[in-house]
């Protein structure tokens, strides 16, 4: 139905509904003004809607997610424009009469109903009911009073509406639900609350990222309560009730830090790198053939022996899980170890070099760390020393050996894996990675056999003479190993050992903190090389 | 390498956030209970101290250990334009002996945290993990049962996604676009940059929790 737009009219939209006087004004002029503005409004509405449609088309084509904020804004604009137009039309429509333009079969039936101003029967009854409701209290009174009462009611309702509007507007402002735009005004949080929240936030972020606020003072850093289950079997609490944390008390140091690594560093002391603790231990180098040692012998303290027995018990338990030949090997090694602990400080040193990884391997066997030992066959034995560290190395070396992370990792692994790491840097990664990746695929048994070969090495060379040969003469090493059945393997091992040692030398300072043995070897090698 | 953003949320709104995340991620939430031990190397291990984090997932019947090394963040004008923090991260599962080994290497316990909360892991262009947890500290070493929250009224929201140097820009874009969805409840930003709470979070939370707004979990 074309209402005000299609017909000529004598109206002014901006003024109140036209009194009869207005009709006498120049109708054409008024009409023009009126229609033009209406036309521009209609056009702008049309443009807005078409813009929205285009946007959606574009979203659909490019498969991007629309920004709902903007779209809602556009929608509300369209809504407002339409509202204005309708208001305009409503204002002037009083002066118009609807004349149906297009009568056809479809709408012929309904037109009379729509054109009539008489209410439909239902609407009429509705109307009557509402009227009754309104005039309920006042019907008995004279008319002027009725009018007054009704006016009073209307005023009350108007006041209530105004208040409601006010509250709505205030809430809208408070929560930023502006009429057309997004959150524009943030709610005013009082300064005290804001400051408190800021402070809490800083505390929380610092705690998560830095650990600020969670550190215990040094005097409280001792384990006094029972350990939670996941730590109970991980950490060993020594007799003094303190955890084996290096550098925390002299008490621990006097025990030679035996407990620190549990089974892994048997027969050696000073596994801790901390400087002052060295003085309390049996020195860094308990090996009598070391240039720094002054005739010291690595006589284990009673506590060490006790712990040794404890560890032996643990190992026995683990032995149960191992296949037979491994048990034999372990037994042999343990015998060797015990004999060596009686007085030959050197043998543990050498033994550690060759046998240590095996021990480690075996004690770790119960923990399913098979993959670590595989490198021993294919890599330097030094690599195998750091079995537990090797795991991490494994993850690091896989695809993350680029210069940036190299430096990074160097810091990270400075103590533990430097030899491994530098050799990784030195040797082509193709060497490392296939072995690493094949680590998991290898089974336990073949590796043990390889171990067995190298494991027998120290057994034959029980004397310090052998040690001297091995340590001071690389060719000596070759000789002893050539007698092994698996020659190629041993040679490969040995060559890589040489390589490993060579690399070690360049990183002596990194090794100080961890493997005194390796340090000693490096020094010895260093002495030997000029020969 | 990972892209990471962090935010804070008041504890009262955590439930609403959970509902929102449930709707956005489409996966089941997972309980999070992680004992994080932060170990620092002493000066004898190197000139620059390094930090290693050991995470023990206590939620499983068998606690699983992970070692994590968090590296430095990407810097420069390019990094400033990205709204997430891109940093190197090395993570690996380890056995429970890792702690002992690190002690043996000379690392010392710097601090430990217990994080309790929930997490969602889902795929949206990248593998995004969102975790909401309350951070607890322990008054005594390793005393998990006595852990108290560092900030009782506030929890931390972590959104992380692993990335490689080749694809980190896409991952960063995916993470930041996901974070926009969480804007009604939590402001997310690079770690170490404070954001404050969302002022209208209460209203958003109310609408999320109402029966008319969505489905209750």
- The three-class DSSP label of residue A232 is helix
Task: Check CB contact under 8 Å for A389 and B46.
Answer: no
Task: Check CB contact under 8 Å for B63 and A364.
Answer: no
Does residue A470 have a pLDDT over 70? no
Question: Which residues in chain B are contacts of A414 at CB distance < 8 A?
Answer: 41, 45-46, 50
The listed range with the strongest mean pLDDT (A297-306, A489-498, B192-201) is B192-201
- The three-class DSSP label of residue A426 is helix
The rounded percent of chain A whose pLDDT value lies above 70 is 34
A266 or B86, higher pLDDT: B86
B131 to chain A, any CB pair closer than 8 A? The answer is no
Neighbours of A293 (CB within 10 A): 19
Task: Check CB contact under 8 Å for B140 and A198.
Answer: no
pTM: 0.42
Does residue A531 have a pLDDT over 70? no
pLDDT of residue A159: 95
What are the residues facing B94 on neighbouring strands? B65
Which single residue is written with the structure tokens 């992370």? A405
| Secondary structure in 3-state letters for B53-90 | EEEEECCCCCCEEEEEEEEEECCCHHHHHCCCEEEEEE
Question: Which residues in chain B are contacts of A394 at CB distance < 8 A?
Answer: 92
Interface test with B, best of A65, A195, A200 (most B CBs within 10 A): A200
- The three-class DSSP label of residue A217 is coil
List all residues of chain B from 138 to 177 with a beta carbon under 8 Å from chain A. 138-146, 150-151, 153-156, 158, 177
- The three-class DSSP label of residue B113 is strand
Neighbours of B207 (CB within 10 A): 13
Q: Over chain A, what is the mean pLDDT?
A: 59
CA dist., res. A136 & res. A384, Å (int): 100
A115: its two tokens: 């054109």
pLDDT-based confidence at residue A33 (cuts at 50, 70, 90): low
Neighbours of A164 (CB within 10 A): 10
A476 or B102, higher pLDDT: B102
Q: Contact, A442 vs A370, CB < 8 A? A: yes
Which of B106, B156, B194 is opposite residue A246, by nearest beta carbon? B106
pLDDT of residue A332: 56
Q: How many Cβ contacts (< 8 angstroms) between chains A and B? A: 212
ipTM for the complex? 0.89
Task: Check CB contact under 8 Å for A207 and B192.
Answer: no
A140 by Cβ neighbours in 10 Å (0-12 / 13-18 / 19+) ranks as exposed
pLDDT-based confidence at residue A326 (cuts at 50, 70, 90): low
CA dist., res. A436 & res. A124, Å (int): 91
B24 to chain A, any CB pair closer than 8 A? The answer is no
Which of A149-163, A280-294, B75-89, B149-163 comes out lowest in average pLDDT? A280-294
Task: Check CB contact under 8 Å for A204 and B98.
Answer: no
Interface test with A, best of B1, B11, B99, B103 (most A CBs within 10 A): B103
CA dist., res. A292 & res. A311, Å (int): 30
pLDDT of residue A389: 40
The listed range with the strongest mean pLDDT (A295-309, A355-369, B82-96) is B82-96
B37 to chain A, any CB pair closer than 8 A? The answer is no
The shortest C-alpha distance from B53 to chain A (Å) reads 11
- For A208-234, write each residue's pLDDT tens digit: 888 888 888 877 777 777 778 788 877
- For B106-139, write each residue's pLDDT tens digit: 898 889 899 999 999 998 888 999 999 999 998 8
Task: Check CB contact under 8 Å for A225 and B203.
Answer: no
The shortest C-alpha distance from A56 to chain B (Å) reads 19
pLDDT-based confidence at residue B156 (cuts at 50, 70, 90): very high
The listed range with the strongest mean pLDDT (A109-113, B66-70, B94-98, B178-182) is B66-70
A171 to chain B, any CB pair closer than 8 A? The answer is no
Which of A100-109, A188-197, A344-353 comes out lowest in average pLDDT? A344-353
A34, A188, B14 from A199: Cα distances, Å: 61, 18, 19
B198: its two tokens: 């969302």
H helix or E strand, kind and range, residue A350: helix A346-365
pLDDT-based confidence at residue A449 (cuts at 50, 70, 90): very low
pLDDT of residue A104: 77
Q: Contact, A467 vs A290, CB < 8 A? A: no
């Amino acid at each position: 139905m074309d209402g005000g737009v299609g017909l000529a009219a004598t109206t002014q939209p901006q003024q109140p509904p036209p009194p009869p006087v207005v009709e006498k004004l120049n109708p054409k002029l008024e009409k023009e003004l009126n229609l033009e503005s209406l036309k521009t409004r209609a056009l702008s509405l049309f443009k807005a809607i078409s813009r929205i449609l285009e946007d959606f088309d574009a979203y659909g084509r490019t498969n991007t997610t629309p920004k709902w904020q903007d779209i809602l804004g556009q929608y509300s604009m369209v809504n407002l424009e339409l509202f204005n137009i309708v208001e305009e039309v409503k204002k002037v429509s009083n002066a118009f009469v609807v004349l149906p333009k297009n009568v056809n079969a479809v709408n012929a039936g309904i037109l009379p109903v729509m054109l009539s101003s008489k209410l439909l029967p239902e609407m009429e009854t509705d109307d009557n009911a509402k009227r009754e409701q309104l005039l309920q209290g006042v019907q008995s009174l004279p008319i002027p009073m009725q009018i007054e009462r009704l006016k009073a009611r209307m005023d009350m309702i108007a006041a209530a509406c105004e208040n409601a509007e006010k509250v709505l507007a205030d809430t809208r402002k408070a929560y930023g639900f502006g009429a057309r735009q997004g959150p524009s005004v943030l709610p005013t949080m009082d300064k005290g609350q804001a400051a408190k929240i800021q402070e809490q936030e800083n505390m929380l972020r610092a705690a998560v990222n830095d650990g600020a606020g969670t550190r215990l003072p040094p005097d409280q850093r001792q384990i006094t309560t029972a350990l939670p289950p996941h730590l109970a079997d991980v950490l060993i609490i020594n007799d003094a009730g303190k955890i084996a944390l290096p550098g925390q008390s002299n008490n621990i140091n006097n025990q030679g830090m035996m407990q620190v690594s549990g089974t892994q560093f048997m027969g050696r002391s000073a596994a801790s790198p901390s400087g002052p603790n060295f003085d309390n231990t049996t020195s860094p180098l308990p090996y009598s053939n070391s240039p720094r040692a002054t005739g010291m012998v690595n006589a284990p303290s009673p506590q060490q022996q006790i712990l040794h027995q404890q560890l032996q018990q643990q190992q026995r338990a683990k032995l149960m899980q191992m296949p037979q030949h491994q048990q034999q090997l372990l037994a042999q090694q343990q015998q060797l170890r015990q004999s060596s602990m009686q007085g030959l400080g050197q043998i543990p040193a050498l033994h550690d070099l060759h046998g240590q990884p095996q021990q480690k391997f075996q004690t770790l066997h119960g923990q399913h760390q098979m993959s670590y030992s595989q490198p021993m066959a294919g890599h330097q034995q030094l690599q195998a020393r750091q079995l537990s560290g090797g795991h991490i190395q494994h993850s690091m070396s896989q695809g993350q050996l680029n210069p940036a992370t190299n430096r990074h990792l160097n810091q990270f692994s400075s103590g533990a894996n430097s030899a491994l790491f530098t050799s990784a840097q030195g040797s082509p990664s193709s060497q490392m990675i296939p072995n690493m990746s094949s680590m998991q695929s290898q089974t336990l048994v073949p590796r043990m056999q390889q171990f067995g070969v190298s494991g027998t090495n120290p057994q034959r060379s029980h004397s310090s003479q052998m040690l001297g040969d091995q340590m001071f003469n690389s060719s000596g090493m070759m000789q002893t190993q050539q007698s092994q059945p698996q020659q190629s393997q041993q040679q490969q091992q040995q060559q890589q050992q040489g390589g490993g040692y060579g690399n070690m030398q360049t990183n002596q300072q990194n090794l100080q903190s961890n493997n005194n043995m390796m340090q000693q070897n490096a020094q010895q090698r260093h002495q030997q090389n000029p020969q | 390498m990972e892209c990471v953003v962090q935010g804070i949320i008041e504890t009262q709104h955590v439930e609403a956030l959970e509902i929102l995340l449930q709707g956005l991620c489409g996966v089941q939430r997972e309980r999070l209970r992680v004992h994080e031990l932060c170990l620092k190397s002493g000066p004898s291990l190197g000139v620059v101290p390094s930090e290693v984090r050991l995470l023990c997932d206590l939620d499983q019947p068998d606690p699983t250990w992970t070692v994590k090394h968090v590296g430095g963040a990407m810097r420069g004008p390019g990094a400033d334009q990205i709204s997430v923090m891109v940093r190197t991260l090395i993570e690996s599962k380890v056995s429970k002996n890792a702690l002992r080994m690190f002690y043996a290497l000379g690392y010392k316990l710097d601090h430990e945290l217990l994080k309790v909360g929930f997490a969602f892991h889902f795929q949206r262009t990248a593998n995004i993990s969102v975790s909401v947890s309350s951070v607890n500290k322990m008054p005594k070493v390793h005393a998990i049962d006595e852990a108290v929250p560092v900030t009782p009224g506030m929890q931390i929201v972590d959104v992380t996604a692993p990335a490689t140097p080749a694809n980190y820009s896409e991952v960063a874009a995916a993470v930041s676009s996901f974070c926009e969805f969480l804007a009604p409840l939590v402001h997310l930003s690079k770690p170490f940059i404070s954001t404050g709470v969302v002022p209208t979070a209460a209203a958003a939370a109310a609408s999320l929790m109402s029966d008319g707004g969505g489905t209750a979990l």
